Chain A
Amino acid sequence: MRVQAAIDIVAPPQLVWGFVTDPTRYLHFMDGVTRWEVASEQVSGCGARYRTLMRVGSAEVGGLVEIVEHEQPRELAWTSVTGIDQRGRWRLRARANGARTRVELRLQYGVAGAGVLGWLAEQVAAPAVRENLRRSLRELKRQAEHEQARAAAAARRAAAAAAAVPTRR
């Protein structure tokens, strides 16, 4: 089963990239995710492994995943090592000359060999998983735009302070 969600964020791709590649931030913006822990010496980049869990229905499902694609600041993909079969991908694309970012989050999941009931479970779980992704993107947008606004305000204050110093003299 493949579910996906997309959103436009008023922040440059590099800033959003900082969120999606930082494993410590996932618990703060990913809805339904109860665990996203580094499980390898490597914290990020291709080969980094994370132990992930997302609450869906009556279980927390997930497993060990490994980053298999890391193209800054455009593509980040992972695939499952243990647990349910899953493949996830962040796609970041610059819009408005790099001032905005189109963010797409894709998740494919299932259990190979589970037969008809496996297919049924995927269908039943899909709305909840899709809603988790949508909420996650909304929260990512809120946090990223907040950080962008804060950075812009700090830059304005710094510029104002720099402009004010010569006039006093």
Chain B
Amino acid sequence: MATQTASGRSRNGQKAEAKPFAKAADGPDEQEPGHAEGRSPIERLVEAVARAIRARVPVADLDERDPDYIRESLPAQWLVASLWFRGEVRGLGNIPEDGPVLLVGNHSGGNMSPDSLVFTLAFSTYFGVERRFHQLAHNLLLSMPGLGFLRSYGTVAASPENARQALSSGAALLVYPGGDHEVHRPTWEGNQIDFDGRRGFVRLALEHDVPIVPVVAIGGQETALFLSRGEGLARLLMLDKLLRLKVLPISVAVPWGLNVGDMLGHIPLPAKITVEVLPAIDLREQFGPEPDVGEVYDHVVTTMQETLEALAAERRLPILG
């Protein structure tokens, strides 16, 4: 495949509900906060940090996915997924054997989300590393030092353009519509699907005429004590304007104790992670030639919520599962 790049630089003013993903990728030129005059030193500092982080966001290149690298790292993933998280993935046979497909997951566990690890391992071993598989992740995750290896796994910055490229290439694409809003929800809301009304994934599936396969995971929200998304704090620090970060999560996590921001990650508690893959939804077959986006969204969320509640009912104890 020819090298394709996308930086997702043209989404100013896009409404939140139109985004397929948590936070679309920002190009370095996007949402420049304007002139520094009249800004406080704190604002200028935050702005400078934001610029530095944005500059680190790699340009998406689907060809950076490296099947050999993935294959060689499977044993390490397997050790963590099997011994630490006792991962269990059911229903992989519901994913079409080939062709593009949109895997829509709920997201849990903060910045050290274990459900991604458990599911991507299961997908790679079940279908083989030869099958194209991409995941969308927040800009900040991809720009963090030491996480460049994620690109070798096929992870690209979350943006509509990157999603389109991946599906056009025939890949399976994993998206978490709830993004940072959902992944940092309080622990006591762990058994709730919360996409925050983001319906872009439905439009994406319709645009490419690909099936949606819901992927429901449980356990991630037990890997730390998540207290708050810290939305007020994020607004106060203008992170929403500068980094498109609407949350600054507050949790109690190992080894930090009180963990604000979760920027350095944390050591997740060894909660049992169970993932259930639901039957594929062919949107036009099930909802007619012109499906109503809201109706499809409600159906997907309701189906996932029912499955999550069933998985929650199976769990006897937190963390132990």
Which residues in A have some Cβ–Cβ distance to B below 8 Å? 53, 56-64, 82-84, 111-115, 117-118, 120-122, 124-125
Contact = CB atoms under 8 A, between A and B. Distances in A.
A63 B128 contact: yes
A57 B121 CA distance: 11
Contacts of B85: 58
Q: Tell me what chain A mostly uses at the interface: helix, strand, loop, or mixed.
A: mixed
Given A122-B75, A124-B83, A58 B89 contact: yes
A80 to B, nearest CB: 11
Given A58-B118, A113-B71, A125-B78, 13 more contacts: A57-B83, A58-B121, A59-B82, A59-B87, A59-B125, A60-B122, A61-B125, A62-B125, A64-B128, A82-B130, A84-B74, A117-B79, A124-B82
B32 interface: no
Q: Tell me what chain B mostly uses at the interface: helix, strand, loop, or mixed.
A: helix
B96 to A, nearest CB: 15
B126 A111 contact: no
5 contacts: A58-B118, A111-B72, A117-B76, A121-B78, A122-B75
B26 to A, nearest CB: 35
B92 A118 contact: no
B86 to A, nearest CB: 7
Contacts of A120: 75, 79
B92 A57 contact: no
Top 10 nearest A-B pairs by Cβ distance? A57-B82, A58-B87, A121-B75, A117-B76, A118-B75, A58-B81, A58-B82, A59-B125, A113-B72, A114-B75
A118 B77 CA distance: 10
Nearest to A58: B87
A115 B140 CA distance: 30
A121 B76 CA distance: 7
Given A53-B126, A83-B128, A58 B86 contact: yes
A25 B86 CA distance: 30
A112 B71 CA distance: 9
Contacts of B71: 111, 113
Contact of B75 (A58, A62, A63, A117): A117
Nearest to A118: B75
Contacts of B81: 57-59
Contacts of A59: 74, 78, 81-82, 87, 89, 121-122, 125-126
B78 A58 contact: yes
Nearest to A117: B76
Nearest to B89: A58
A114 B72 contact: yes
Contacts of B68: 113
Given A53-B126, A82-B130, A58 B73 contact: no
Contacts of A61: 78, 125
B88 interface: yes
Nearest to A110: B75
A144 to B, nearest CB: 29
A118 B72 contact: yes
A117 B81 CA distance: 13
Nearest to A85: B71
A113 B68 CA distance: 9
A25 to B, nearest CB: 20
Contacts of A84: 74, 125
B174 to A, nearest CB: 16
A84 B92 CA distance: 18
